[in-house]
Structure 1
Amino acid sequence: MTRTHALFSSLLLGAALALAGCDQPESDAQGLPDDRAKQENAQQRVLAGKVMYRERMAMPPQATVTVTLADVSRMDAPARMIAEQQIDNPGNVPVPFALRYDKSFADNDHPMAYAVRAEIRDGDGRLLWTTTQRHTVELGDKEANRNITVMLERVADSASAQPVTDKAQAKADGASFWATGNEPGWHLAVYPEERLVFVWDYGNSSMTTPNPGAKTEGAETIYMATTETGALKVEISEQDCEDVMSGEAFPYQVKVTRNSTLYSGCGQDL
């Protein structure tokens, strides 16, 4: 064999070995991370849909849409958030969303125990649109959850949307206890030996009663008041509580019953 032929044969052998190396699947070296990603995806499901409102108007610049999925199966406890998506500068409606949640929730014994809510705030954090009714979803039925529509209601102008009291003002006015909750937004202020002020429907409705004095039943503190407009029952339990929307921690779980309507939330001493 000549020198030229030997060199050519060596080049062919090197090229063949290089091609053989290229044929090895990349997953041999990176199979484990890929497998873990596939397993994680297999454990997740997606609840997709869009957020809408009826007004023919654009959102302000720097608006934010927040969509949450919560477990609302327990009427005697605050809702537990299991998925959330925040969309900054969404433009105009409809605003698409995709909430990822663990598929174990779809195996719940109470498949209709989940609700979606949404809100739109401006760049200063002021509430502009929000859900005013519970939007129940069935996680166990993929078809029923495909491209759901969450309709929002516009909040009144800022001048009239201010609640009767806020926490700072309530404290300045002498309130000793404050509670708040969602679905729909509400808050309660307790003024010692004076009154109870309950505000619901995101500040659009309110009820003031004389403070009847607190009663203790086991680990609960209870107020029961009656006025011409109806009855108000407040139950305060010393148990850790987390606000679903803000994530703020509170030392008390609170239930407020206005006539026959129950509101669940969290509370704190002022």
Structure 2
Amino acid sequence: MVESANGRLDCTAAMARSALTREQRPGVMFHGRGNEPGWHVNLRHDAPELRLVLDYGARELSLPYRVVAMDNAGGRVRLASRRGEAPFELRLEARACFDDMSGEPFPARVTLTFEGQTYRGCGQGIAPQSSSIR
């Protein structure tokens, strides 16, 4: 059993969850999303570039990034913009995360800072082919 401020999740050894694949997210290696306002971010699998969709889809940007910190033991990575005119910071952390609207569990916490605003959400890596996570 896992408990958080968002509720309780009963776990079983045989529990399976479908993984997001490149079939569903072509060209993407990581997908993160959040609510209020609705936003999502996709990291390309073949180049250091992210696609950022903000304000429920009203704004879309493609921005190059660089890795500024990586802590493999702690399961954390911090990315920052390669363009001075569009600064951002994206933090990914391998920790249980529950969508604040649906309660759906995710394996990563995502924090995006962009244009003076901080967006918080959840995310997961994208499997190259169809599979289930156990």
4+ aligned runs moved over 4 Å, structure 1: 167-170
Return the index of the structure with the highest Cα Rg.
1
| TM-score relative to the length of structure 2 | 0.68
Structure with greater helix share of residues: 1
The aligned runs of 1:144-159 (5 Å cut-off) are none
Write out per-residue CA displacement over residues 99-122 of structure 1, whole angstroms, 9 at most, x where no aligned residue: xxxxxxxxxxxxxxxxxxxxxxxx
Q: What letter matches 2:63 in structure 1?
A: T
Hey, what does 1:176 align to over in structure 2?
29
Please state if 1:245 is matched with 2:101: yes
Gaps of 5+ in 1: 1-79, 83-166
Q: Is the 8 A contact 1:191 1:211 kept in 2?
A: no
- SS of 1:202's partner is helix
Count of residue pairs brought into register by the alignment: 106
Please state if 1:260 is matched with 2:113: no
CA RMSD of aligned residues (A): 2.4
Distance 1:189 1:169, change over 3 A: farther
Q: Among 197, 205, 226, which residue is 2:51 paired with?
A: 197
Q: What letter matches 1:202 in structure 2?
A: Y
Distance 1:255 1:184, change over 3 A: same
Distance apart, 1:171 and its partner CA: 2.0
| TM-score relative to the length of structure 1 | 0.36
Q: Is the 8 A contact 1:241 1:251 kept in 2?
A: yes
2-structure distance, mates of 1:208, 1:170? 19
Please state if 1:208 is matched with 2:62: yes
The aligned runs of 1:121-132 (5 Å cut-off) are none
Gaps of 5+ in 2: 8-20, 127-134
Report sequence identity in percent: 28
Please state if 1:186 is matched with 2:32: no
